[in-house]
Amino acid sequence: MSNPNKDVINVLNDLIEYSKDGEKGFKASAEDVKNTQLKAFFVQRAGECASAAAELQNDVRRLGGDPETSTSISGDLHRGWVNLKSMVTGKDEEAVLNEVERGEDHALKAYKEAREKLVRLGRGITDPSYMIVEKQLQGVQRNHDQVKALRDAARARS
């Protein structure tokens, strides 16, 4: 039997991959910096990404689907590039923050596109899946803005 929520589940599963990518990316970034405050910021963000993924996975289950459990191929490739670049640049704060901001740019775009897809699928502002995506989009936007401010501060110090 076909699931009438299949398209919504696909949208949510894509976001689960992005959340898992964010979790791994923030954890790796925490390992790459010496600044304890920045390290704590990255660890906290990794935890928030894990929570976001779990919330999306629960919604996929509610809709009768099988939630994604892994990261995306593009996220894995990005982390490989970040690791290579970090080795070359000596893992300086600005370089790490530049790459984290790039990752957040991708996440922000993915969440905005997901919200648009949900609307096209007839899921409006009162739909539980839409509300989760909208709430998480606001969190991604906050993360992006904070990372950008931290990057700008690191750039000003160098």
Predicted confidence (pLDDT) per residue in 48-64, tens digit: 999 999 999 999 999 99
**For residue 85, is it within any domain?**
no
We report the CATH number of the domain holding residue 55 as 1.20.1260.10
Virtual torsion, Cα 43, 27, 52, 73, nearest 10 deg: 170
Our count of domains for the chain comes to: 1
Q: Each residue of 16-55: pLDDT tens digit?
A: 999 998 898 899 889 888 899 999 999 999 999 999 999 9
Q: Which domain holds residue 27?
A: 6-67+93-157
pLDDT given for residue 99 in this prediction: 84
Tens of pLDDT along 60-76? 999 999 998 876 555 55
Q: Is residue 76 part of a domain?
A: no
82 touches 25 (CB < 8 A): yes
User: Would the pLDDT of 88 be above 70?
Assistant: no
The pLDDT of residue 71: 60
Residue 87 in domain: no
pLDDT, tens digit (0-9, with 9 covering 90-100), for 98-155: 888 888 998 999 999 999 999 999 999 999 999 999 999 999 999 999 999 999 998 8
- For residue 78, being part of any structural domain is answered with no
CA distances from 28 to 45, 90, 111, 137 (A): 11, 14, 22, 22
Residue 84 lies in a domain: no
Q: Is the pLDDT of residue 2 over 70?
A: no
Residue 74 included in any domain: no
Does a structural domain hold residue 83? Answer: no
Number of H helices, E strands in the chain: 5, 0
Specify the DSSP element, H or E, that contains 96: helix 93-120
pLDDT of residue 14 exceeding 60, the answer is yes
In a domain, 124, yes or no: yes
Say what the pTM is: 0.86
